[in-house]
Structure 1
Amino acid sequence: MRIIFHGENAASFSAGFADLVGPQADIRILPDVLDVGADERAYADADVIIGTKFGASLPVPSRLKLFHVPGAGYDAVDLGLLPASASVCNCFGHEQAIAEYVMSALLARSIPLADADRRLRRGDWAYWAGSPERVHGEIAGKTIGLLGFGHIGKAIARRAKAFEMNVHVANRSAVPTSDLVDRAFTLDRLDAFWGSADSIIVSVPLTEETKGIVGAAAFAAMKPGAVVVNVGRGPTIDETALFEALKAGRIGGAIIDTWYQYPGPDQAEILPSKQPFHELSNVLMTPHMSGWTSGTIRRRQQTMADNIKRCFSGSSLENVVRARMS
């Protein structure tokens, strides 16, 4: 069983992987760029490839049985070029981490622990209980709006309900109201959705339909104090419209984890947008870190190992993106 971890991202899941798959696993870690003949041959001879991309520049793995993406997104995998003999699967397991990120970010805006600590170290009792001028906020009773109700949206909803929040959902397919969902909208009713919540959490995947789905009209319809959180894909929010809304104070703020520009081989350090978000005080910027936790790695390792064992035993696979065609 020849298993290849291709690239830095995939290699993050390699430690201890043999213990999950079994002694029959022959595991090799290859770099992102295959510029050595031995690496190219190893890739071409693989039974299983764990990687985030596949295209014409890579060797054709003619014996491949399973191509497994170590995450949810597979937009960099050209499914049409992969051998028909291979099944293609992805994995999730990041929703717990992202939901914790969202809740901690919202809590931090209401409960100023860091500022209270900083002030008290100077003898400043700015948040001392007992006076209306010193109160801070809470998220109980607030309304959270979830744009997208997949793995991430559902995980956020469960945690929001534990904090006694109201949950509104906007989703492509209809979502019934339930113990988790107080009010639901379809995507043709977004005008009403934008203004219904105190915070808008964007977790939809990037498609032609969702590109720029949060734009100038959305910001104009939101509450003046609304907070926008993007843990989906950067371009689902219109870059210029977001910057202008924040700069003009049309919304209360933003917490952005997924961006418009990313580091590459030729530029390791780069600002995440052409717009100067870093100059604004009402935006919290993080480097696409919300789902990257030890728990995410552990859960995804288990999913991939289980699928590899299923593949070689002839059992049905989970999270199939493209079934084997021959």
Structure 2
Amino acid sequence: MKIVFHGQNAANFRQGFEQLVAPEHQILDLSDALDQAGERAHYETADVVIGIKLNDSMPVPSQARLFHAPAAGTDAVNTTLLPAQCTLANCFGHENAIAEYVIAALLMRHVPLARADQDLRRQRWTYWAGRPTALRTELGSQTIGLLGFGHIAQTVALRAKAMGMRVHVANRSPIQHPTVDQSWTLDALHEFMGSADAVVVSLPLTDNTQGLVDARAIAAMRADAVLMNVGRGAVIEEKALYDALASRQIGGAVIDTWYQYPTPTQAECAPSQYDFAALDNVLMTPHMSGWTSGTVRRRQETLAENIGRLSRGEALINVLHGPR
């Protein structure tokens, strides 16, 4: 089969891929713009496309039997443009890394190691045991709220339970799970938002989730609560989030998924039209929560597994849309 890795994002999973698939497959690397000699023809005749986007400005991969996103999100893939015989699949493998990120970010609020280190270097014993003003809080006494209960949230719940936290969940369908202490469906979103000390959003971006966490949902949160986004930026309404932080309506935010991103022609950009960087109650990271060597390896293994299954005529895994 002809397998094409389309664009810079897919190229992240390219190194060493030959060792994971049968040697008879042809593997090609294509640019984002598909404007190099022969690239358009290779894209149109590929059996497998590995990439993150498909839109009206691009050629149609008319021979493809599998369009495989190398990540979880497929919101940039217009499924109406996929040929009738083509299956759309995605990859996970990032849940362990994101769960570590979530716990690390929350621990920073309760165990101020960096501040204690900086102060002691200046001979300031800020957190010295025995001082009533030096008392810290404990993560284990907190309640974490998980908006969505997919791969990421389920792994976060396990880590949170290990820390002694209570776990609350809001999900489209009812949840019964050994790690969950209380759950709500999305029609009770505001009650859920007010039940936790930290709310973690891990939902994918769909027509139903875009802007789901709006000004009213944020207003329902506790005054000292933290809102964290490791799903998709637009699930939390951009202006509502900025206004809530700027006015200190909530305790703070940890934002890893954003509203504006670099492009192949613009390597750097602001992550939002609003000046989040000027706020001191937000921790900003550049969509890094799931990006580890382990994530890359696990996603490569998923890609290779599905290519093997396709060549053997077996059922694929992680299927989002089957042939029409």
Corresponding residue of 2:230: 231
Corresponding residue of 2:188: 189
Q: How do 1:34-49 and structure 2 match up within 5 A?
A: 34-49=34-49
Q: How do 1:1-326 and structure 2 match up within 5 A?
A: 1-176=1-176, 178-325=177-324
* Aligned residue identity for 1:2: K
SS in 2 for 1:205: coil
Which segment drifts farther, 276-285 or 213-222? 213-222
Query: 2: CA distance between counterparts of 1:220 and 1:184?
Result: 20
Contact 2:75/2:206 (CA < 8 Å) preserved in 1? no
SS in 1 for 2:155: helix
| Deviation by residue 1:70-122 (Cα, 9 ceiling, x = unmatched) | 01111211222222222221111111111111110000111111111111122
Superposed displacement of residue 29, structure 1: 0.8
Which segment drifts farther, 10-19 or 125-134? 125-134
* Aligned residue identity for 2:124: D
Kindly tell me: are residues 17 and 219 of structure 1, through their superposed partners in 2, closer, same or farther at Cα, counting changes over 3 Å? Answer: same
Q: Which runs of 5+ in 2 are unaligned?
A: none
| Deviation by residue 1:245-293 (Cα, 9 ceiling, x = unmatched) | 1111111100001111112244332211111111110000111111111
TM-score under structure 2 normalisation?
0.96
Superposed displacement of residue 56, structure 1: 3.3
* Aligned residue identity for 2:186: L
Q: Which runs of 5+ in 1 are unaligned?
A: none
Q: Number of residues paired by the alignment?
A: 324
% identical aligned pairs: 56
* Aligned residue identity for 1:32: D
Query: 2: CA distance between counterparts of 1:252 and 1:59?
Result: 47
Contact 2:111/2:136 (CA < 8 Å) preserved in 1? yes
* Aligned residue identity for 1:105: A
Query: 2: CA distance between counterparts of 1:179 and 1:98?
Result: 21
Query: 2: CA distance between counterparts of 1:224 and 1:55?
Result: 42
Contact 2:97/2:291 (CA < 8 Å) preserved in 1? yes
Contact 2:75/2:205 (CA < 8 Å) preserved in 1? no
Which segment drifts farther, 241-250 or 193-202? 241-250
Query: 2: CA distance between counterparts of 1:91 and 1:37?
Result: 30
Superposed displacement of residue 185, structure 1: 0.5
* Aligned residue identity for 1:6: H
SS in 1 for 2:299: helix
Cα-Cα RMSD: 1.3
